[in-house]
Amino acid sequence: MQTIYYDLRDTKGQQKEIEDKISAAAKILREGGLVALPTETVYGLGANGLDPEAVKRIFEVKGRPQDNPLILHVTGAQWLPRYCAEIPPIAYVLARKFWPGPLTMILKRQPLVPDATTAGLDTVGVRCPNHPVTLAIIREAGVPIAAPSANTSGRPSCTTAQDVMEDVGDAIEGVVDGGPCVVGVESTVLDLTCDPPRLLRPGGLPVEDMERLIGHIDVDKSIHGAKVDRPGAPGMKYRHYAPKAPVTVITGAPEASAREIERWLGPTSGVICFDEYAGRFAGHEVHPLGPCGDKQIQAQRLFDALRTFDGTGVTEIFAQCPDNHGLGLAINNRLKKAAGFHILEADSQRIILGLTGGTGAGKTSALDAIRGLGGLVVNCDEVYHQILSENEEFQDAINEKFPGVFNAQRQLNRQKLGKEVFAKKDRLDQLNAIVFRYLVPELEAKMQAAGDGLYAIDAINLLESGLDRLCDRTIAITAPTELRVRRIMARDGITEQYARLRISAQKADEYYRGKCDCELNNASDSPAEFQKDAKLFFEKLVDAIREEKRHGAAVNLGK
């Protein structure tokens, strides 16, 4: 078959030429042909989702099992009533917030959606992709497009048109090149036919973002390796994303997992690792996944890393694995599926909690509760002052941006620096960027040197600095405003007016709730009583994290 290649990477080019290519691709789809389409997640192998014969060809070309349902791609929520029945209001709430985007909703189907598309289920998955070219093609075609990932079944998904050509290019009518995918992992699949909604597949939309909007979401056991008889969504039953060489996933803290990989490496082993550890595996085929703290880059690189080993002499692959927070859950899931859930746990019992919140909320009492559990509190202010006095490179970086704040003896003129940064927010941001660049690695090194155990990071700018990426959980310490006012007045000996002014100048509790993994609310008038409650809270949280580390599954304690 002669496959037509449509290059639409430059959507600002000749408008007539672009429209002609979009019309040609849409015509193929209307007439029952197959066209590979770009989306923000991965490339999809598209067919008219209402045409059973066209849909059957998707299964034939991919070698896809017949009981693995497909997803319909539409241009917006206005298409839902055409193909879905019994649509709950929450579907429109989610669509308004997250469409176009990497969210697939499972809903009851209308009779016109064929069994071939839904694998005989009475439900159908629907999503609106966030790619202008594909949205234009769907509008032009006038039909929903069934489009699983455009790879042969079981292989890593395609994130470029070149990947598509390699896998199925000679078996379909057209390939539309819309550039590399910006998300890099498939859409999140959420079942809305049950209450509470159930996560069937983690993907490009983190579950935490949805929970902030609609509340608690159950997580299907298949995400962590449990077997299912009949999948309700793509990716639930069969092994996926696998390169030719067997994969072993190493879970745990990055330093510990890197050490574990070094223990297992053989002469023909390949490695997928975080950028910071790539130099540890000299003499081996190494594909960096991205920085430890940047899961967006990790998601974009994941499938490319898995694919590129196929052209090498690598006979086994060891892969570092991010934690389950945010996009990490999707990356974690894809790696483990590629490995057939062959997982090794790195030998690390270090647990790091990050505490943040406004003044007067009770952070000091909460930290005392962690000390009561035998935990070590890492005070970021103390570490900052240490590197400020000892690290000449750090001093030079500050002096370069703020000339004259150090004297000839390398002593900092705090008053001069303070006048400079507190007068202009952009100057404070510049100072913080320098501080964070040196502070984060220093803290990480200190905890690694101290070994395993329970740690709490005490940092005013925990979230802004990137220190949260070191943490197993971040906790927002919150309290009613009136209690905070009384505490600050008593603690600092200031007036009520000044206490309220200090609180108003800080971020609201809602900011911390939205950014942190957990919330510990301090509504007690007694610091001793709150410390007692906090100790129980942290005992439960630490137990949950240990369980997660043992089994590789996130434990959700709620907000």
* pLDDT tens for each residue of 284-293: 999 999 998 8
pLDDT at 80 over 80: yes
Q: Answer with the residue of higher pLDDT: 34 or 156.
A: 34
Q: Distance (Å, rounded) from C-alpha 288 to C-alpha 298?
A: 9
Q: Answer with the residue of higher pLDDT: 451 or 320.
A: 320
Confidence of residue 558 (pLDDT cuts 50, 70, 90): very low
CB 550 within 8 A of CB 344: no
Q: What is the DSSP letter of 50?
A: T
List all residues 6 or more positions away from 450 whose beta carbon is below 8 Å from its beta carbon.
376
pLDDT in the model for residue 506: 85
- Average pLDDT value for the chain: 88
Mean pLDDT score, 167-184: 93
Confidence of residue 304 (pLDDT cuts 50, 70, 90): very high
DSSP 381-403: HHHHHHHHHH-HHHHHHHHHHST
pLDDT in the model for residue 555: 41
pLDDT at 4 over 90: no
pLDDT in the model for residue 265: 92
pLDDT in the model for residue 556: 43
Sign of the C-alpha dihedral computed for residues 449, 453, 459 and 465 taken in this order? positive
Confidence of residue 273 (pLDDT cuts 50, 70, 90): very high
